[in-house]
Structure 1
Amino acid sequence: LLEGLVYGFGFWFVNYLYVWAGLVLVTLLLRKSASYVLLTAAAAGYGLIFGALCAIPYFFIGGWGMGVSYWISGIPFDLLHCAGNAAMSALLLKPLTILLRRLDGRWQRG
């Protein structure tokens, strides 16, 4: 909701309601995984399918042609999104996991 308040409630906002919920679901399913490779692959894959997920409403409002054209026009962004997610996960996942576990232990001890 905060993003909608800041940037306005355009049609793109509908996409974010289920795209981010899907990311939460994927994260919950993979939270027990200790494999940084699997988690990095999931982050990269989610970046790659982001455009396809965002195109779903356009299939309903404009038909097959609008949905496919919206999705195809976003493929260059999806490729960059995939690469960026993979790079950031590969660089930051392990150090942030260690840091957050250390901080979690401090909070639990009081």
Structure 2
Amino acid sequence: MPRSLFLGRPMPGPGEPLWLDDDRAWALALLQVEAETCTGCRQPLTESMDPALEEAWRAEVVLCHACATAGRTAEHYRQHGGDAHGANVRVHRRKEATPWPTVQSTSG
């Protein structure tokens, strides 16, 4: 989607360009930023691969329960003879799951 449309420019009429020069410039700038970003940690490559900054990073392990469920499902599928080539795991929230965590009130 062109940036200008996202920001509210009306849909162009017949014969009018969908992408403006400014839209293309923003898209090319985004491609450049993405090309200069580590695909693993999403940090700028100029910083994340600088040996002088090796000790400057802190990391934490976080667990996405939906991804963990998908991983266990895929592993079970492979262990029971499923061909994982081309297999994708679709994750859905169970209907019986509580929609939002509930907190017991301590005031009374």
* TM bucket, shorter chain: under 0.3
Q: Which has the higher contact order (CA 8 A, sep 6+)?
A: 1
TM-score, normalised with respect to structure 2: 0.27
Instruction: Give the structure-1-normalised TM-score.
Output: 0.27
Between Structure 1 and Structure 2, which shows a larger proportion of helix residues?
1
